[in-house]
Amino acid sequence: MNILAFESSCDETAASVVRDGREILSSVVASQIATHRLYGGVVPEIASRQHVEAISGLCTEALKQANCSLEQIDAIAVTYAPGLIGALLVGVNFAKGLAIARGLPLIPVHHLRGHIAANYPAHPDLAPPFLCLVASGGHSHIVRVEDYTHFTVLGRTRDDAAGEAFDKTARALGFPYPGGIAIDKAAKQGNPNAIHFPRPKVDGSLYDFSFSGLKTAVLNYLHHAEQVGETICKEDVAASFQNAVVDMLSHHFLSAANNTDSHVLVLAGGVVANSALRERIEKECAQSGRTLYMPPLSICGDNAAMIGAQAFYEWEAGTRADADLNAFANVEIG
Element (DSSP H or E) covering residue 26: strand 23-31
Q: CB of 269: closest distance to Zn ion in angstroms?
A: 6
The residues binding ligand KG4 (CB under 6 A) are 10, 115, 136-138, 163, 166-167, 178-181, 184, 269-271, 273-274, 301-302
Q: CB of 115: closest distance to Zn ion in angstroms?
A: 6
Calpha distance 229→279 (Å, rounded): 36
Based on CB atoms, which residue is closest to ligand KG4, 77 or 271? Answer: 271
- Is 302 one of the binding residues for Zn ion (CB under 5 A)? yes
Based on CB atoms, which residue is closest to ligand KG4, 160 or 208? Answer: 160
Residue 334 CB neighbours (<10 A): 13
| DSSP per-residue codes, 92-124 | HHHHHHHHHHHT--EEEEEHHHHHHHTHHHH-T
Residue 271 touches which member of ligand KG4, Zn ion, none, C-beta under 5-8 Å by kind = ligand KG4
Q: CB of 95: closest distance to ligand KG4 in angstroms?
A: 18
Calpha distance 1→282 (Å, rounded): 34
Based on CB atoms, which residue is closest to ligand KG4, 41 or 213? Answer: 41
Calpha distance 36→43 (Å, rounded): 6
Q: CB of 180: closest distance to ligand KG4 in angstroms?
A: 2
160 CB-contact burial (10 Å; exposed 0-12 / middle 13-18 / buried 19+): buried
Strand order in the sheet with 106-110: 23-31, 12-19, 2-7, 75-81, 106-110
Residue 180 touches which member of ligand KG4, Zn ion, none, C-beta under 5-8 Å by kind = ligand KG4
Residue 166 touches which member of Zn ion, ligand KG4, none, C-beta under 5-8 Å by kind = ligand KG4
**Amino acid identity at 181:** I
Number of residues in contact with Zn ion under rule CB under 5 A: 2
Based on CB atoms, which residue is closest to Zn ion, 221 or 293? Answer: 293
Q: CB of 296: closest distance to Zn ion in angstroms?
A: 15
- Fill in the per-residue mask, 126 to 145: x = in contact with Zn ion (CB under 5 A), - = not in contact: ----------x---------
Q: Of the candidates 311, 329, 328, which has an alpha carbon nearest to the alpha carbon of residue 320?
A: 311
Whether the CB-CB separation of 167 and 177 falls below 8 Å is answered with yes
Q: CB of 270: closest distance to ligand KG4 in angstroms?
A: 2
Calpha distance 39→57 (Å, rounded): 26
Whether the CB-CB separation of 129 and 260 falls below 8 Å is answered with no
Piece of the chain touching Zn ion by CB under 5 A; list 37-45, 88-96, 277-285, 297-305: 297-305
Residue 273 touches which member of Zn ion, ligand KG4, none, C-beta under 5-8 Å by kind = ligand KG4
- Is 8 one of the binding residues for Zn ion (CB under 5 A)? no
Beta strand residue intervals within 121-169, DSSP E: 130-135, 140-147, 150-156
Q: CB of 36: closest distance to ligand KG4 in angstroms?
A: 11
- Is 79 one of the binding residues for Zn ion (CB under 5 A)? no
Q: Contact positions toward Zn ion, by CB under 5 A?
A: 136, 302
